[in-house]
Structure 1
């Protein structure tokens, strides 16, 4: 339906185009009008329409729109940068938690935990110390990784 309306308007445009006419009356005065008189010789006149002038209000509106668009672009860029930082932090935390969970899994699988003394030799801890280290590490993983 919309297409038919557009086609009708395009076809009707030549019929609705009003020209301007110039004629001279019996007193020698020149007249202009959009309809030629029936009893006079007329010339069709082509009118040159000047381009629309840009007034101060329009210029100001255009400037405000441009400033708004620039500000919106800056805000969008800031949001995207903030989101990228949050995603990077989340990825770093995820990698950290994966490493902690792997270490926790290792601590569960070994029978004894050892420390290195000042000479670099292994010194195994007793069962109580062993359980305390596992418990503390499990708590660390839970607190840092929200498990």
Structure 2
């Protein structure tokens, strides 16, 4: 019997574990459905159509969680805080962003451990983007 060395088996990324691209596309699409009807958040999206922003967030999250590197290939380093500087991101925007993201995450019906891992990151990311007191 041949022994399998520790660490020699390929590990699935979180991206793969939760269903890959279709899962992230569903998540972000549902999120932007909420944003479209939220006057506070909608003001942060200068494009007439939310499609480009939806695509950017989808590609970023897929890359972050171990999927294709399309985001960096097309846009370079994420530099999330820098990219959000032009916008007023206060506590109200933070809370609204998380409210819509919570609805989107809930609709995915992920296994609890994956849901928690994703949610923990989203809470961290939302807090990191706050750039205005209040």
TM over 0.5: no
| Greater C-alpha radius of gyration | 1
Bigger proportion of residues as strand? 1
